[in-house]
Structure 1
Amino acid sequence: MKQIWTLGDLADAAQGRLTGAERASPVTGISIDTRTLLPNDAFFAVVGVSMDGHRFVPNALAAGAAAAVVSHGEAERAIVVDDVLAALERVGVAARARLEPATPVIAITGSVGKTGTKEMLRLAFSAEGEVHASAASYNNHWGVPLSLARMPADVDAAIFEIGMNHAGEITPLTKMVRPTIAIITTVAAVHLEFFDSVAGIADAKAEIFAGLEEGGVAIIPADNDHTARLAAAAEAMGAEVVTFGVGGDVSLTSLDADGAAVADVFGETIVFELADPAPHVANNALAVLAALSVAGWNVDAGAEALREWSAPKGRGRRVRLRPAGGEAVMLDDCFNANPSSTGAAIATLGRVPAARRIAILGDMRELGPSASDLHRGLTPLLVDADVRIVHTVGEMTKHLRDALPFEMRGLHAATAAELVTQLPEVEPGDAILVKGSKAVGLGAVVEAIEERYGLNNV
């Protein structure tokens, strides 16, 4: 593993006191979880809401950790600090400060599409250099500093995902990242339980511009209801504004059913391919092409790399099934759900050639007082997509079920576990969408379908 710190440099960055180890000792990773810790990682014993990482310090050291970063207790090899999470934040800030000034640093947020677009950015920028990017969805108050702290000093580009549930959460994170490019994928009705309006969500997303470096670029959707609001916020921070999507500086000229795409990138024609031809995927790819262009990187090379992108598990992944000797497909999109992402997923289902389209939908959470109406509002989308059967899971999807034409109503279950016990049959020619908020647990339904009908079990 590549050395990213010495213990001495790490202790200095954390503003801590090193004990029981040599300053020159190598650190090849940063960990907050002993289950995934590797030898020579530094283990940060973060104190969480329900768990104190100091309990696992002996496990970390026994597993070969270079040292444990602690605020109390005793450890054989330790960096002693005042507060472990604050120390991790300081290390993240120090890691960012080590980068060359010309290094593109990209921060990305949005109501939907953050993680998928981040992975597209990783692929596209990797076509020309070494890229560091957030792992998984490490986008919160510990995930962002952890991702920064893990960053080597000599990368050619860095990409960070930043999320939020409440106003004010993005500002401190973007100020740690100090992006040269900030991307907002979209603004939609998400987390309405914590906001008075979607305009308030737009303002919260626009906090990402507060951390932009001087001369930084804001990349925003051209065709969102809140585009003008986002642009004004970016310009107030001195940012150059670039738009993507319909009518934007970077726009889609064509997209066929096989994923062959043509884009206009500041007047230049770029031809590329996507394994997933969904329009919302292609739209996110436009933000990636915009970032490559404004960073001065090779847009053609980055666009070509996008053909390798595929949706990760739970985020639109396509799973081939073999029911009764035939073929079917499942769209595994159960990591999270809101009206915008669910609408996009239903539209994608509607474009999949199928003898029968089936939707398994779970509750969309954090929608506040309008939740019942927003669930009912999915009905015309399902009808337009020619969905034959809709199975529902949870309390709020009862409102959707009641609004559906009688012949479209499938099974209803209070929980995902209950639906697993009465798993819907899959037939040759079916296309099945599984979509719901993460807390509903529809991943169990996906696993059950894949276990029964997946290619590895035929």
Structure 2
Amino acid sequence: MKLIHTAKKALYISVAKYFRYWSNKSLRRWNPRVIVVTGSVGKTTMLNLIETQLGPAAHYSHNANSAFGIAFDIVGMRGITSSKLKWLYLFIAVPLRSLFFTRHEKYYVAEIDGERPREASLLAEWLRPEVTVWVSLGRSHAVFYDAVVASGRYGSVDEAIADEFASLARNTSKLVIVDGGNPAMTTQIKDISGKIVAITDAALHKYHVSPTSASFVMSSGTFSFSDPMPKETYVQLAMLEQLMNYLALPITHDVSSFSSPPGRSRHFAGIKDTHLIDSSYNAHLISMRSMIAMMQAMPATHKWAVIGDMVEQGKSESEEHRLLGELLSTTDFEQIILVGRRVSLHTHPAISSSNPQRHVESFANARDALQYIVDHLQGNEVLLFKGSQYLEWIVEKLLLNPQDVSKLARQDIASVKRRASWGLS
């Protein structure tokens, strides 16, 4: 099994390098100022915030953040979204397009993931960004790092993940912006030669959140959103201020054009005058804490939490779900509804142990959870959806306006088929 895993990893890197070689020809003709956005959570939100400022002056790597995705994006192509036979087409088409395709925007704002070991570092060594905006650090996709830790190179999964993300900072020529409240991040970048700006909580002057909006009073002015945003968004806004100051460009505080990415803290009107806050795109403990804290700060009488499994946590899976349970036990949620094997096995007992009086409902699947929700809604509830197990399907069934389904996460053909195979259609 270990040999197979090693072979797959080597093949992944080799194929990624093939596409990088050809796409590099197009990138060098283009020669943009490269701004990289990375982190365990909040990358896409950060990318979209930068777009509200730079607009058409930049090209943005929307829906492309892997070693393959970035290579395809640079030559104006998309990756595999349907048939695997498309790989043959890409192997031929990418080299051909690299010979003539050239973008013309002044900036390239690229979102970079550290999902797999060596992925971020492979891109860092290639793109050599002028600016890196490192938003966050946590146990995202920890399962991919268990083998790296087992090899003895690192003492823990946290250390391995931090080092992978830090490769972008180490390969940055001018400016690295980080969350100064995260010791693991500041430790990783203490020896790099470029300029470092560490964001602290002093950057936030005032925060307010409701089911339909959020506002942040920052050093440069007030940013207002038409979706509820977690308090930690101030870190990204402060990073945005630092970036624009570095580029010597004016800051636009009107972010009405900003739209939360699908499945990331997005508000929808629900049946029975309910408010649906959809944050079902993904989840690990850092993002769970952020969204739960946002709900606790929200002035609402009837608050519910619909929580799904946190996947790809590797060997730390049971511990992460136990900590989630301890966190939920301290909240004022009127209803806590758990969906999935992991939260039922680890989170539910942790809630009951920490707060024996707390009522919790656990369900194996989204269909049963939806039925419970529909049967118990009284009206005017604010429901948070966070985690896996196809929670976006539950949100879909509770929408007041069915056309809003297009704004939910995982609406591509493959995802719809996967949900249907689970009886969710």
The alignment's TM-score, normalised by the length of structure 2, stands at 0.75
Contact 1:88-1:145 at 8 Å conserved across structures: yes
- Please tell me whether the aligned partners of residues 416 and 445 of structure 1 are also in contact (alpha carbons under 8 angstroms): yes
* Structure 1 residue 198 displacement after superposition: 1.7
2:49 is aligned with 1:97: no
Matched, 1:241 2:168: no
- The two structures, once aligned, show a CA RMSD in angstroms of 2.6
Specify which of 211, 235, 259 is matched with residue 283 of structure 1: 235
Which one-letter code corresponds to 1:229 in the other structure? T
Show the counterpart of 2:150: none
1:333 is aligned to: 279
Unaligned runs of 5+ in 1: 1-48, 50-82
C-alpha contact 1:314 1:443 (8 A) present in aligned 2 = yes
| 8 Å CA contact retained: 1:272, 1:306 | yes
Say if 2:170 is the partner of 1:205. no
AA at the equivalent of 1:225: P
- Which of 313-322 and 276-285 deviates more? 276-285
The count of residues paired between Structure 1 and Structure 2 equals 349
Structure 1 segment 76-91 matched on structure 2, within 5 A:
88-91=19-22
Query: 1:330, CA displacement in angstroms?
Result: 1.1
Cα deviation digits, residues 5-29 of structure 1 (max 9, x gap): xxxxxxxxxxxxxxxxxxxxxxxxx
Deviation at 1:208, TM superposition (A): 1.2
What residue number does 2:66 align with? 140
- Which string of whole-angstrom CA distances, capped at 9 and with x for unpartnered residues, describes residues 322-361 of structure 1? 40xxx22111111100000011111112223322111111
Distance (Å, rounded) in 2 between the aligned partners of 1:321 and 1:408: 26
| Aligned with residue 183 of structure 1, among 120, 123, 133 | 133
1:32-88: CA deviations, max 9, x gaps? xxxxxxxxxxxxxxxxx9xxxxxxxxxxxxxxxxxxxxxxxxxxxxxxxxx986553
Distance 1:389 1:407 in 2: 13
1:261 to 216, 226, 245: 216
Cα deviations across residues 162-184 of structure 1 (Å, max 9, x unaligned)? 11223322111123333111111
Whole-Å separation in 1 of the counterparts to 2:362 and 2:295: 20
Of the candidates 256, 261, 266, which is equivalent to residue 317 of structure 1?
Answer: 266
Q: Which residue of 1 aligns with 2:333?
A: 387
- Runs of 4+ in structure 1 displaced over 6 angstroms? none
Structure 1 residues 90 and 283: CA distance shift in structure 2, 3 A: same
Distance 1:259 1:125 in 2: 22
Question: Offset at 1:254?
Answer: 2.3
Give the % identical residues.
21
**Alignment-mate amino acid for residue 255 of structure 2:** L
**Contact 2:133–2:176 (8 Å) recurs in 1:** yes
| Farther-moved stretch of structure 1 (287-296 vs 83-92) | 83-92
Q: 2:170–2:189: 8 Å Cα contact kept in structure 1? A: no
Distance 1:427 1:130 in 2: 48
Give the AA of the match of 1:94: K
The answer as to whether partners of 2:275 and 2:382 remain within 8 angstroms in 1 is yes
Judge conservation of contact 2:49–2:240 (CA < 8 Å) in 1: yes
* In the alignment, structure 1 residue 108 sits paired with structure 2 residue 37: yes
Structure-1-length-normalised TM-score: 0.70
Which is richer in helix? Answer: 2
| Structure 1 Cα separation of the partners of residues 39 and 27 of structure 2 | 22
2-side partners of 1:447 and 1:345: how far apart? Answer: 20
Distance apart, 1:206 and its partner CA: 0.4
